[in-house]
Amino acid sequence: GYNIQERDRVKRRKHMKNVMTKVLLILNELNDLEDNNLILLLQKNYHRLKLRRHLVSKQRRCRQRKSWNDFQSKLTDRQFRRYFRMHRDCFDFLCHRIKENVGEDEFKSESFLRHLVDDDK
């Protein structure tokens, strides 16, 4: 037989299937009764939401991205180890090995990116 978790999972699936069936039936009835009104309501809500998101996006503050050096220099050795699960020296060595294997174009170190930005100016 089933274990308790599997039985509960089957019950939840059956319940969700019943709920979804009822929702589909209600939507089908709404579709038959007020197809145009429902479409207009959905379009109105969609455009209202789109406008709200647009207005919120205009209010966002632009922030300058912190450089890796600024970020990691403010971490204590203990914090660094907790974030990255290795010491700084090990992390630097790992980055160096990755850069050797995949190349600077793929690794994109901070100095490489800064050099690209300076070249574009």
- The two tokens of residue 46 are 């969609």
Condensed to tens digits (0 to 9), the pLDDT of residues 76-106 reads 999 999 999 999 999 999 989 998 999 887 8
- pTM of the full predicted structure? 0.43
Q: Do 87 and 80 meet the contact criterion of CB atoms below 8 Å apart?
A: yes
Rounded to a whole number of angstroms, the distance between the first and last alpha carbons of the chain is 71
In 3D space, the residue among 61, 91, 64, 88 whose CA is nearest the CA of residue 74 turns out to be 88
24-80 pLDDT, tens digit per residue, is: 888 887 776 666 776 777 788 888 899 999 998 888 887 777 888 888 889 999 999
